[in-house]
RNA sequence: UCCGGGGUAGCUCAACGGCAGAGCAUUCGACUGUUAAUCGAAGGGUUGUGGGUUCGAAUCCCACCCCCGGAG
């Protein structure tokens, strides 16, 4: 494991069973873990300004190589001082490599899978071609052809200037057979080597690189992959690929995969971020989690709330909120809950007012931050299991340790 | 009072002799490294009323009731 202190340093401050609380030090400041990472796919946490995201307490957000490559392009962002300068974000940035788009564009029609899209849209399948060299895509904007290889991905991420770059991988779908997953995982390992080779000679000095463990739901493949990533010398390690068809299987895949990762490295679970899943990941010793769900649900009128029987969701677009004077969640410190009630926010959401999106995004990101902040405190106090049980039983994060 | 236009789903309107539809609204479902402020599904009708013609009428004919516009 390469450990370049001026690029990235990870300190584990407390342990509670396999869970741990730490700090990832980057060129743009620290990230206290466990941490949730909001997505800023196209250079913005949708609906919010960077200052607001920082104001909520977030120290790391995720931008996407594929989207920013398509538009506005790496040259324009580099000329603006990298993604930090372009979007006015002064804290740490991680960039996804574009690898997930190979999956989502090729397998957009795959349903019933934890890390898949339940939507139709498989017509994209014919438009993605994966070869040893890289992946050929269609631009989501104008359909024009573009090509991303490990070297292209790293070059773009270098131009974006993220603090943490992710290696270019293929996110294998659940419905790929073992044979395909094995071959794909091996190719991802070769891509890893090419990413690191490019980065060592031409990448920014201060930019860290995380490898990505593949192998699907197969224990031996996950084991081989974890070993290959760790041996390659990376600054951190992420779990990618399919995690199974449902939450139960995801739990099993993660329980089997997490112990395979090197202890000293920051561990990132890609794409997972529902309330219960985050707690499960933290319990397994995972440190950072990025996910579209809290922000996407907010845009769809759904607020996170301590209601496990409704999957921690309060759907404000549904009927029945008229006249309800309660805050979205009692005791929540967010602006929506401090100053407004369910009646008003529900009305705004159904009226398609942008203010509703903002209020619920602020709420959901506050909720996720509170969830991880108290998880961290619970780990430091040696009470994580108790905290997790209380949240899963329906306590709010800020009440769960009382 | 006369002339013209119009009354179809909660709303705005299609269908103009052959199984009454759409959009919006409503209700429900989905959303996990964001092509997603999105997508999917369902419920909802004595076609203003009464008669007539026809195998068959929202559609054609007659009468009446309402609404809109114009004329006086």
Please list the rounded mean pLDDT of every run of 10 residues in chain A (402 residues): 69 98 97 98 98 98 96 97 98 96 69 63 60 88 88 98 97 92 97 98 96 97 98 97 95 98 98 98 98 98 98 96 97 98 97 97 98 98 98 98 92
What integer pLDDT is reported at residue A122 of this predicted model? 44
> Which amino acid residue lies closest to nucleotide B26, measuring CA to C1'?
A319
What integer pLDDT is reported at residue A137 of this predicted model? 81
Overall pTM > 0.90: yes
Distance A348 CA to B5 C1' (A): 39
DSSP string, A94-114: EEE-SHHHHHHHHSTT--S-T
Cα-Cα-Cα-Cα dihedral of A237, A33, A299, A314, to 10°?
120
Q: Which nucleotide is nearest to A210 (CA to C1')?
A: B33
ipTM (interface predicted TM): 0.92
Q: Which nucleotide is nearest to A95 (CA to C1')?
A: B33
Nucleotides of B under 7 A from a protein CB: 25-40
Distance A184 CA to B72 C1' (A): 87
What integer pLDDT is reported at residue A125 of this predicted model? 45
A108 — alpha (psi -120 to 50), left (phi > 0) or beta?
Answer: alpha
What integer pLDDT is reported at residue A21 of this predicted model? 98
What integer pLDDT is reported at residue A116 of this predicted model? 66
How far is the C-alpha of A400 from the C-alpha of A402, rounded, in Å? 6
**Catalytic residue positions of A?**
96, 290
Q: Which nucleotide is nearest to A293 (CA to C1')?
A: B32
CB A24 within 8 A of CB A33: yes
Distance A349 CA to B19 C1' (A): 39
Half-sphere exposure of A200 (CA within 13 A, CB side): 12
Distance A392 CA to B45 C1' (A): 47
Closest CA to A60 of A39, A80, A42, A43: A39
Rg (alpha carbons) of chain A, rounded to whole number: 20
């Amino acid at each position: 494991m390469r450990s370049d202190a001026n690029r990235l340093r990870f300190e584990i401050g407390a342990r509670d069973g396999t869970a741990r609380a730490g700090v990832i030090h980057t060129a743009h400041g620290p990230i206290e873990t466990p941490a949730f990472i909001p997505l800023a796919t196209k250079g913005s946490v949708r609906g919010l300004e960077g200052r607001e995201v920082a104001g909520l307490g977030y120290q790391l957000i995720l931008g996407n190589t594929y989207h920013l490559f398509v538009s506005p392009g790496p040259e324009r962002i580099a000329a603006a001082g990298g993604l930090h300068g372009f979007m006015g974000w002064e804290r740490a940035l991680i960039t996804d490599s574009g690898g997930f788009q190979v999956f989502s564009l090729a397998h957009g029609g795959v349903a019933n899978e934890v890390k898949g899209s339940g939507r139709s849209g498989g017509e994209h399948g014919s438009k993605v071609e994966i070869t040893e060299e890289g992946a050929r895509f269609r631009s989501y904007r104008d359909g024009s052809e573009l090509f991303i290889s490990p070297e292209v991905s790293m070059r773009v991420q270098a131009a974006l200037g993220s603090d943490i770059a992710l290696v270019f991988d293929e996110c294998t779908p659940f419905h790929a057979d073992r044979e395909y997953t094995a071959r794909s995982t091996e190719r991802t390992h070769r891509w890893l080597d090419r990413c690191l080779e490019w980065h060592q000679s031409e990448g920014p000095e201060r930019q860290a690189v995380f490898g990505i463990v593949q192998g699907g739901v197969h224990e031996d493949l996950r084991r081989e992959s974890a070993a290959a990533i760790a041996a390659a010398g990376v600054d951190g390690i992420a779990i990618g690929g399919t995690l199974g068809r449902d939450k139960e299987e995801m739990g099993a895949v993660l329980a089997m995969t997490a112990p395979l990762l090197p202890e000293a490295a920051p561990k990132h679970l890609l794409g997972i971020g529902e309330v219960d899943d985050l707690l499960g990941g933290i319990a397994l010793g995972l440190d950072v989690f990025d996910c579209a769900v809290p922000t996407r649900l907010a845009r769809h009128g759904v607020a996170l709330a301590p209601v496990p029987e409704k999957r921690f969701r309060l759907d404000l677009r549904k009927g029945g909120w008229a006249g309800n004077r309660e805050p979205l969640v009692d005791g929540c410190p967010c602006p929506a809950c401090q100053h407004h009630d369910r009646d008003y926010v529900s009305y705004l959401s159904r009226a398609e007012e942008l203010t509703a999106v903002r209020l619920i995004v602020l709420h959901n990101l506050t909720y996720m931050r509170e969830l991880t902040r108290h998880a961290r405190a619970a780990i430091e106090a040696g009470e994580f299991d108790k905290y997790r049980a209380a949240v899963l039983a329906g306590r709010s994060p800020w009440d769960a340790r009382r």
